[in-house]
Structure formats: structure tokens, C-alpha cells
Amino acid sequence: MHRIKVIDSHTEGEPTRIIVDGGPDLSTHGVPGTVAQQREVFRTRFDHIRSAVVNEPRGCDHLVGAMICKAQNPRAACGVIFFNNVGFLNGCGHGTIGLAVTLRHLGMIGAGTHMIETPVGEVSVELGEGGSEGGGQVTITNVASYRHAAKVEVSFAWEGSTRTIKGDVAWGGNWFFLVDQDGPFGHGLELTLGNLDQLTRFSCAIRDGLERAGITGAAGGHIDHIELFGPSTRADCQSRNFVLCPGKEYDRSPCGTGTSAKLACLAADGKLKAGERWGQESIIGSAFFGSYRQVPGGGIIPSISGRAYISAESMLHLAEEDPFRHGIRDGT
């Protein structure tokens, strides 16, 4: 019997399940590499553990998983590797906020600023003196983010015809294609929970169109997130979004890396000044609040604040005789 201890949290409605004990050894010849190298070991040798943790029957398609791992920088609280129902992620903003309250719950960190190593760089988390035992407010300072290309035109099949829209390609820790609602090349869809099926199919069609056209991020980076924007329903937010994640599920939170990408585009257009506050509402009505500082070369360093709460502590059992011990995956 293989047992894996996990702690579940949610960040503004989006769940994160973190392996805290019983995860695989990601070292190579007894020596842990960088977090990116450890993620590669995880991907190539232990993908069945990823699936077991987040896929049915123990998980669900919208659950994001993570594993605490060894950091190289001695100043880091830990390293972390994020994954979902179909594979591994570069970074995860909501997951890092969830990680922060999990580390505090475990007694690994307290109030103050702490550094976390991710596969794409160092991210800091700031915990205040307040906050309940089960969670609270966290601010993360993300990796450098930037707009790679503006007003990129993409055509795709939609409801029996060909549709064309324009959007920005931006990096916020993952690659995003960002589309506003208005204008002749906007998405034109109302961002409501009642439209989830249409929003999901529409965003998947955009992603398919990007792939067919060979449109990528820098160095051929795969654009695996689609982000649609419209007017907010909250007085404290400037925008509402729908974010399609890899695996065809939507983000219940406003998406930390997606909000970082949005801030990069606003900065590039001169629509938001360094230090100004931006409120980003999610499709379910929760919110992140962000700002940025400029860095040389046109990029930004975004800071994102949101709330996370511990929701469960569990021991996952992977019995040898269980035909679904490694999760229900495509082709199984």
C-alpha cells in the first residue's frame, strides 16, 4: 500500500492539493537538481503519481496539484512543482498562495516574506501577522512578466463558420492568449456562469486555432491558457475574466499567472502605471488585486494578493490491487 499525505486548500475558490509526504524521490543519483530538473524527473518517471493525486477517483479535472520539493537556494522556504489533470505547469499563482497558507499550517513559515523556488524562477510570498489558523490573505511577487505580441489575429472554426479575433500573447509564469470583449475582433460573449459551456467551447476553439496557425510564445512556448475579459460586476474591480486552463477546465479564481499577464499588457499599453492597483474579478465573483513595478527591457514584476484557506488534510491510499490506483486517465 502506497500512502500519500496531502493538504487541500482553495484560493478564491480554486482548489490546490499539495503532497506533503509520501511523494516520489526526484533526485538524480541521490542529488536533487534544480526545481525544473526535478519536475522533469517527476514528468518522465512518476507521471502516474501526478494522475493518482489529481484525477478521479481521488480528484477531479479542475483540481491543481503540487508537491513540495528541495530548493537549491538556501534562503528558499522550499521548492514546488505544480501539475493538473493532464500534465505539469510552469508556475501557478493561485497555487503559490495556497502553498503559503499550507506551509504556515505545517509550521514551516510564519509571518513575513518568504521565497519559493518554482520551475520558472523565484517567487516571494508575504504573510501578515493576522490571518486565521486555516488561511487568510497572501501577497505573491511573481516572476518577470511581459507581453510578447499585441493584436495577434487568429481564425478558428466556430458554430459552422470561421471566426476571427485579435488578442495579446503574454507571459505571466504560463503562456496566455488574452482577448477583450468589445470591438469587431473581440469575443463578444457575456462572462457569466450560465455561459460556461459556450465559454469553454469558444476558448478551446481559439486554442485549437492558435495551434493550427503555429502561433506561440517566445522560443516556441506553447500557449496553453486562454483568457477572456469583460466588465466587472464588483465596484472594487476593473475587469472580469474567464480563464481556460490546460485540460479544458476553467479557473475558479481570477488566475494568478493570468492576472500577471494582464498587468503586463496593461503596462505595455500605458493603461496602468507602476504601483497602481488593479482589481481582477473571476467568473465566480472572487477577486485578486495586483500592481507591478517596471523592470529594464519592458517587462514587469507583478504582485498579486488573494485569500486562501485550508480545506482538508488527507491520506491517499494507492492499493496495489486497485485498478484505478493511478487515476482515471484518457485511454485507461
Buried b (16+ CB within 10 A) or exposed e, 216-227: bbeeeeebbbbb
Cα-flanking dihedrals φ and ψ of residue 97, to 5°? -65, -45
- Give, for 305, the enclosing helix (H) or strand (E): strand 300-318
Q: Where are the beta strands (DSSP E) in 175-247?
A: 175-180, 225-230, 239-244
92 in active site: yes
Of 78, 92, 237, 245, which one is the catalytic site residue? 92
Compute CA distances 320 → 3, 20, 314, 323, whole Å. Answer: 11, 21, 19, 8
Q: How far apart are CA 235 and CA 281, in angstroms?
A: 10
Task: Encode burial over 305-318: b for 16+ CB neighbours within 10 A, e otherwise.
Answer: bbbbbbbeeeebeb
The secondary structure of residue 12, as a DSSP letter, is T
**Which uninterrupted H or E stretch holds 256?**
helix 256-268
What is the DSSP pairing of strand 175-180 with strand 225-230? Answer: parallel
Told to judge if 78 belongs to the known catalytic residues of this protein, a careful annotator would answer no
Q: Can you list the positions of beta strands (E) in 119-180?
A: 121-127, 135-141, 146-158, 161-171, 175-180
All three cell numbers of 95, joined, read 497555487
38 DSSP assignment: H
Number of C-beta neighbours around residue 297 at 10 A: 7
The residue annotated as part of the active site, out of 69, 237, 245, 255, is 255
Residues annotated as catalytic (active site), given as ranges: 92, 255
